[in-house]
Amino acid sequence: MAAAGTIAFTHQTAATIGSLYGDFAVLDTPYAYRDLGHLLRVVDASSPVMARLSEGLLRSAGLRVLSTFYFGTRQLTCGRPARRPEDLAGVRVRAIPFPLYETAVEGLGATAVPIDWAQTSVALAAGAIDGQENPVNIVLSSRLYEHQPYLMLTGHIQAAEILVVNEKVWQGLPRASRESIARAARESCEFATRATEESEERDLAALREKGMKVIGPKEGLDVAAFASRVSALVAARFGSRWKTYFDMIAALR
């Protein structure tokens, strides 16, 4: 709708924007970032990665990137505990209907079931799927703990939301308005990043209070095994296409 000009602004995951400009999805590559600081350096407007992706998105879809913000780190929830990839064999896990997200779920060891987000809670309640993956704030706000007793801190995707505007709408605004909106976009995204980062531990504690059993490295979760398996599958499926981007992202560590 934003690309068509039906609406002016939207914010979406990088992989969702990848449906309009495929390379943009590279920002959601699993286990691509050393830490949050690394992610924020990559998605900063001044980074060579974002400059290249933003130019491609503007050219191909008519969308201008205004700013980005930290959306959280995606974790796995399930009806049973999993500490290694083999524990997820045959387990049906909802994946965002996009190749990179489906690859992430398969790499974790599960069977990826692409389902629209609006159908996920119903699918979990009906037993059509066994698990899903999302940041902890989404698990809490969507009450997924009512259907999912286990939360695995796989940390497989550190994600940024991308705030974009339709270029024709943007160019139709007075210069002073564009400057004000651009400033407001930066400030609001900085606020959103801080708010998300500050809320993660609080949301995790709330999920424990709701009865979720949280499994992290202290509880035997083998993050290295998950990362190794996911990264190998990503390399096999996307390595030849995105090697340049992978090298650019690594260089910003």
* Model pLDDT for residues 9-54, shown as the tens digit of each residue: 999 999 889 999 999 999 999 999 999 999 999 999 999 999 999 9
CA distance 198 to 161: 17
Its CATH architecture, for the domain 9-170+187-246, is 3-Layer(aba) Sandwich (3.40)
Angle in degrees, 0-180, between the axes of helices 48-61 and 36-43, rounded to the nearest 10: 50
CA distance 85 to 108: 5
Percent of the chain at pLDDT above 90? 98
Main-chain phi, psi angles of 229, to 5 degrees: -70, -45
Can you name the residues that pair with 159 across neighbouring β-strands?
A: 72
Three-point CA angle 71, 20, 177, nearest 5°: 70
Long-range contacts of 139-144 (CB under 8 A, 24+ apart): 139/75, 139/77, 139/203, 139/207, 139/212, 140/203, 140/206, 140/207, 140/210, 144/77
* Model pLDDT for residues 111-163, shown as the tens digit of each residue: 999 999 999 999 999 999 999 999 999 999 999 999 999 999 999 999 999 99
Can you name the residues that pair with 113 across neighbouring β-strands?
A: 94
Angle in degrees, 0-180, between the axes of helices 48-61 and 223-251, rounded to the nearest 10: 80
Reported confidence tier of residue 60, pLDDT bands at 50, 70, 90: very high
* Model pLDDT for residues 156-211, shown as the tens digit of each residue: 999 999 999 999 999 999 999 999 999 999 999 999 999 999 999 999 999 999 99
Q: Please list, in sequence order, all residues whose beta carbon lies within 8 angstroms of the beta carbon of residue 118, skipping any fewer than 6 positions away.
A: none
- Which residue in this structure is represented by tokens 């651009």? 182
**DSSP string computed for 142-172:** TTGGGT--EEEEEEEEEEEEEEEEEHHHHHT
The pTM (predicted TM-score) of the whole model is 0.93
pLDDT at 253 > cutoff 90: no
CA distance 236 to 151: 28
Domain chopping of the chain, boundaries: 9-170+187-246
Positive or negative: CA dihedral 26, 197, 161, 88: positive
Are the C-beta atoms of residues 153 and 74 closer than 8 Å to each other? Answer: no
Main-chain phi, psi angles of 152, to 5 degrees: -100, 125
